[in-house]
Amino acid sequence: MSGSEGSTAESSESPFSPLATPGGFPIWKPESVRISSPVRAEPSLVGHLKVRAASGAEGRTRLSEQSFRAPFHIGKGYWDEDAKVMQLRVVNPTAGILSGDRLELAVDVDPGAALVIMTPAATRAFMMERGIAVCEQRLAVAAGGWLEYAPEPLFPHTQSDYRQETKLELAAGADAYFAEALAPGRVGRGERWAWRRLTMQLEVTVGGKLIFRERLDASGKEFGKLAAFYRMPEAWFATIVLYSEKLTDEHPVWEQVRQHGAPTRLAAGLFLVRVIAGGSIELRDTLSSLRAVAAIALPKLKTDLRRL
């Protein structure tokens, strides 16, 4: 598992401790490392999803640009008049991610636009006898824009080797809610902590300035030992990033957030929340509760994700 070279987050005397995790669980640590170089492997599938959300007539969000190729597919957007957001469902019509696959996701939200990207099914990285699969994600939100992106958990299968690199690019004055979740594997099939290698990197910039970068790089065996040490043999993990100028250190929402996860202040208006759960249902319920709590400060989270 990767080491730590210190966080780029602002120092503060707020009640948010650096990289706080429940029980002090040291899973992800910030690094000052470069984005890893492209994989030199013959891809079996190269897919992409590129969308741009813009403010349209009567203030409704529309997709001004869209392009996708398997394994990505998007349906018709749904406009939630109550929350004033567009819900966009992204599906993977293939079985899942296989060795050699290379995926690219690029989302841009323009000023005045509000976009929610939904995934109805979990991401599955299947068994790989050799080679790896790579997913590169770039999510950019302009000032006055809103983005919610919280896909279903990632399930690394036996002997899978998967790398995911995410760049969250936020302009000053943007609002965003980002979450990523990790399952211990296919527990029902006896595949717990059975992947060969998993690399997940997250980079957050605000106003073009790098605020936070972290990298998880571990085998399933290493992860399983760490989880067992903390007496959580079937641990499920999630990381949430919230950004809004409305989110101050003193906002009353944090008292309720602490009941579900461990928040850390990274910079003015930028917060990280760690969640560790003992099972899939507990994780789902915790994330649902956290989202409802965050909606107190970020009302666009009140959109009903089951409307589609």
State how far the alpha carbon of 234 is from the alpha carbons of 89, 122, 192, in Å: 29, 17, 8
Say if CB 51 and CB 138 are below 8 A apart.
Answer: no
Question: HSE on the CB side for 234, CA within 13 Å?
Answer: 11
pLDDT of the residue at 226: 78
Q: What is the pLDDT of residues 76-97, one digit of tens each?
A: 899 999 999 999 999 876 778 9
Sequence ranges of the domains in the chain: 26-33+117-300
Task: Indicate the burial class of 60 (C-beta count within 10 angstroms; 0-12, 13-18, 19 or more).
Answer: middle
Distance CA 277, CA 234 (A): 8
Record the pTM: 0.86
Which residue stretches of the chain have pLDDT < 50?
1-15, 17-43, 308
Say if CB 74 and CB 48 are below 8 A apart.
Answer: no
| Radius of gyration of the chain, Cα coordinates, nearest whole angstrom | 19
Distance CA 234, CA 279 (A): 6
Say if CB 86 and CB 53 are below 8 A apart.
Answer: yes
As beta bridge partners, residue 22 has none
Distance CA 126, CA 143 (A): 38
Distance CA 90, CA 8 (A): 32
pLDDT of the residue at 307: 54
pLDDT of the residue at 150: 95
Q: Tell me the helices (H) and strands (E) count for the chain, helix number first.
A: 3, 19
pLDDT of the residue at 14: 47
Q: What is the pLDDT of residues 244-292, one digit of tens each?
A: 999 999 999 999 999 999 899 999 999 999 999 999 999 999 999 999 9
Please state the φ and ψ torsions of residue 7, each to the nearest 5 degrees.
-85, 150
Distance CA 249, CA 254 (A): 8
Please state the φ and ψ torsions of residue 39, each to the nearest 5 degrees.
-75, 130
Distance CA 217, CA 1 (A): 5
CA torsion through residues 302, 289, 24, 2, sign: negative
Encoding tokens for residue 247?
């989110």
- Which residues have C-beta within 8 Å of that of residue 120, sequence separation ≥ 6? 89, 91, 152
